[in-house]
């Protein structure tokens, strides 16, 4: 294989071109640099001797050759050397280029195996050195090879030319994937678009949190480096009696999300991510059973970034299909009469969507609630992943937090009744017939997405209201979400409490019991 600057690929270096003459002094400096005592003249003293021979320093030399502008480059101060990235004025490239500067991997030289046998005693020939130029430009060869390449560049003009070009090309490498975009920007951009041209097939409002949260998790995954995919991630939930956890990986979490989202996907008529065979064994499997099945099938590739794609494709497909479904229902029978009444049409669509139930194995949720539930799970598991790889990860925007908090609050009376049926909570104090006023707990959630909920304590069907309140619990919305995710033990939740202790205890436990694997 031949480089463009060396078409014959072999043989002695061609005669240096004109400008190379002026390069000679620069090139001859290199050995001197490597012999310099450690830390001399180095800002911050960050460099270690073995890092001297990195491509960026050597890069300086061919650059000089090219630039024939030697004056600012004569001192051994790599940080002052104009780098490729500077020319392109792109912070993300500069950031990347930092990584290639003299201080690249200050912590890593020992982690980088240097198995390279080539010592000075057995010099590498031109062909081998030329083949190393790409690796050299990327600072991806051993210290010995780096030194050999750099020595070679001082007397081989074609290689020095190519080295320069390849080193410049490295400056052009950037990853759009590495860019950390503000998640709020997505909402702003989409909103701006939809104002200028309203969607004919809009997203149902209750699917918007799922849309935003899956996009946010996807952006986090994009930013993750390969080895971060192997980081252990802890799944935590409250099993009714105590906190439980389970260790998995990032890919394991995505498999879990994929398998449980699959309940909703299948309800929309999308293919189930679990094969028929697996489901025949375990009919109507709930979230945990489905996850275990998926993990068992997926054992071959549990740690790889490949887990991202099926999860993302399914979530996109769910958003697409649910939009079509509700759009069709909004245009349903009445649409002929009142097509202009879009708000009315949306209500009709929501009412009709609420009649569609998604089975979770032991229980079911109306389709809109299932989408909120999946958004909540996506957020919480994204948080688990972010924690494991030490990335910051904020809460959903306030507009999306509201329905998520509301879903959890609405589910509390049912969860309390389920705990009683399972013998995990004491029986109700009295019988409250459906519709009759009964003892009430006032749940006050503060902060974004907060509000007041009056929860019937004796029976989910009883009428709850301020005048029947026997207890008051106040807590922050994010703390409430942590509790409902099983990430905070019920008795340790930072909640202001007032009134009937037992009722408060029952409700806090019921909140934690909303969590699942």
Partner 1 sequence: MQQRLERGEAAALGELYDRFASLVHSLAHRVLDDDEASDHATRDVFAYIWQNPHSFDPREGPMRSWIAALTQRTATSRLRRLQRSDGPCSPEEAERIEEQVRAAATAARADYIVTSMPSSLRAALELAYFQRRDYRQAADTLGVTEDEARRRLRLGLQLLSSAMTRPAMAPPGPRGRR
Of 42 and 63, CB closest to partner 1: 63
Q: Does 431 bind partner 1 (CB under 8 A)?
A: no
Do residues 81 and 63 touch, judged by C-beta distance below 8 A? yes
- Strands 469-476 vs 440-446: parallel, antiparallel or unpaired: parallel
Of 87 and 436, CB closest to partner 1: 87
- 461 contact partners, CB below 8 Å, separation of at least 6: 432, 433, 434, 435
Burial category of 162 from C-beta neighbours within 10 Å (exposed 0-12, middle 13-18, buried 19 and up): buried
Closest CB 96 distance from partner 1, rounded Å: 8
Which residues are paired to 472 by β-bridges? 442, 498
Do residues 79 and 43 touch, judged by C-beta distance below 8 A? yes
Which residues are paired to 475 by β-bridges? 445, 495
Listed in sequence order, the DSSP H helices in 81-156 are: 84-88, 91-100, 126-131, 133-137, 143-153
The site string for partner 1 over 434-453 (x = CB under 8 A, - otherwise) reads --------------------
Q: Does 105 bind partner 1 (CB under 8 A)?
A: yes
Of 1 and 40, CB closest to partner 1: 1
Closest CB 254 distance from partner 1, rounded Å: 16
Q: Does 87 bind partner 1 (CB under 8 A)?
A: yes
Nearest to residue 105, comparing CAs of 61, 148, 56? 56
Q: CA separation (Å) from 178 to 80, 84, 87?
A: 26, 19, 20
Of 231 and 297, CB closest to partner 1: 231
Of 205 and 297, CB closest to partner 1: 205
Q: Which residue from 3, 26, 450, 456 is in contact with partner 1, where contact means CB under 8 A?
A: 3
Closest CB 1 distance from partner 1, rounded Å: 6
| Interaction residues for partner 1, span 220-239 (CB under 8 A) | 222, 225-227
Q: Does 4 bind partner 1 (CB under 8 A)?
A: yes
Closest CB 255 distance from partner 1, rounded Å: 21
Q: Does 103 bind partner 1 (CB under 8 A)?
A: no
The site string for partner 1 over 164-203 (x = CB under 8 A, - otherwise) reads xxx-xxx-xxxxxxxx-xx--xx-xxx-xxx-xxxxxxxx
Of 303 and 316, CB closest to partner 1: 316
Do residues 183 and 216 touch, judged by C-beta distance below 8 A? yes
Closest CB 139 distance from partner 1, rounded Å: 8
What number of chain residues touch partner 1 (CB under 8 A)?
81
Of 258 and 488, CB closest to partner 1: 258
Q: Does 301 bind partner 1 (CB under 8 A)?
A: no
Crossing angle (nearest 10°) for helices 398-421 and 501-513: 110
Closest CB 501 distance from partner 1, rounded Å: 47
Cross-sheet strand order for the sheet of 469-476: 451-456, 440-446, 469-476, 495-499
Q: Does 353 bind partner 1 (CB under 8 A)?
A: no
Q: Does 328 bind partner 1 (CB under 8 A)?
A: no
Q: Does 8 bind partner 1 (CB under 8 A)?
A: no
Measure the CA–CA gap between 353 and 326, rounded to whole angstroms.
7
Q: Does 426 bind partner 1 (CB under 8 A)?
A: no
Of 324 and 363, CB closest to partner 1: 324
Q: Does 314 bind partner 1 (CB under 8 A)?
A: no
- 67 contact partners, CB below 8 Å, separation of at least 6: 73
Measure the CA–CA gap between 7 and 26, rounded to whole angstroms.
26
| Interaction residues for partner 1, span 118-137 (CB under 8 A) | 131-135, 137
Q: Which residue from 82, 123, 275, 338 is in contact with partner 1, where contact means CB under 8 A?
A: 82
Which residues are paired to 233 by β-bridges? 248
């Amino acid at each position: 294989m031949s480089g463009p600057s060396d078409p014959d690929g072999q043989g002695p270096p061609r005669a240096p071109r004109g400008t190379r003459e002026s390069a000679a002094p620069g090139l001859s400096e290199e050995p001197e640099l490597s012999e310099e005592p450690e830390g001399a003249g180095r800002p911050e003293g960050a460099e270690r001797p073995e890092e001297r021979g990195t491509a960026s320093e050597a890069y300086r030399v061919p650059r000089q050759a090219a630039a024939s502008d030697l004056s600012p480059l004569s001192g051994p101060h790599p940080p002052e050397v104009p780098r490729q990235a500077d020319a392109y004025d792109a912070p993300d490239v500069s950031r990347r280029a930092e990584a290639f500067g003299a201080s690249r991997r200050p912590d890593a030289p020992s982690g980088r195996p240097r198995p390279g046998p080539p010592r000075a005693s057995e010099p590498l020939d031109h062909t081998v050195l030329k083949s190393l130029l790409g690796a050299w430009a990327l600072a991806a060869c051993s210290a010995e090879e780096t030194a050999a390449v750099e020595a070679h560049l001082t007397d081989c003009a074609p290689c020095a030319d190519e080295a320069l070009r390849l080193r410049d090309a490295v400056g052009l490498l950037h990853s759009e994937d590495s860019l950390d975009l503000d998640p709020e920007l997505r909402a702003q951009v989409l909103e701006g678009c939809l104002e200028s041209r309203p969607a004919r097939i809009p997203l149902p409002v209750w699917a918007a949190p799922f849309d935003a949260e899956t996009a946010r998790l996807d952006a986090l995954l994009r930013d993750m480096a390969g080895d971060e995919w192997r980081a252990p991630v802890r799944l935590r939930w409250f099993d009714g009696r105590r906190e439980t956890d389970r260790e998995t990986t990032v890919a394991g979490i995505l498999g879990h999300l994929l398998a449980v989202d699959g309940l909703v996907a299948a309800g929309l008529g999308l293919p189930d991510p679990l094969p028929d065979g697996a489901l025949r064994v375990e009919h109507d499997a709930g979230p945990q059973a489905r996850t275990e099945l998926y993990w068992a099938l997926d054992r071959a590739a549990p740690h790889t970034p490949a887990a991202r794609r099926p999860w993302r494709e399914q979530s996109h497909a769910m958003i697409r299909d649910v939009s079509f479904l509700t759009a069709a229902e909004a245009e349903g029978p009445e649409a002929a009469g009142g097509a202009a009444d879009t708000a009315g049409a949306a209500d009709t669509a929501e009412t009709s969507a609420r009649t569609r139930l998604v089975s979770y194995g032991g229980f079911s949720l109306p389709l809109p609630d299932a989408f909120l539930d999946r958004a909540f799970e996506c957020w919480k598991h994204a948080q688990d992943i972010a924690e494991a790889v030490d990335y910051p990860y904020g809460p959903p925007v306030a507009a999306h937090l509201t329905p998520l908090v509301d879903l959890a609050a609405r589910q509390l009376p049912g969860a309390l009744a389920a705990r009683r049926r399972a013998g995990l909570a004491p029986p109700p104090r009295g019988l409250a017939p459906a519709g009759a006023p009964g003892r009430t707990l006032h749940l006050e959630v503060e902060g974004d997405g907060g509000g007041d909920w009056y929860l019937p304590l004796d029976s989910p069907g009883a009428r709850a209201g301020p005048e029947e309140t026997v207890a008051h619990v106040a807590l922050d919305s994010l703390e409430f979400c942590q509790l409902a995710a099983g990430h905070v033990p019920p008795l340790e939740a930072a909640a202001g409490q007032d009134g009937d202790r037992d009722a408060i205890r029952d409700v806090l436990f019921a909140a934690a019991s909303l969590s699942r694997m």
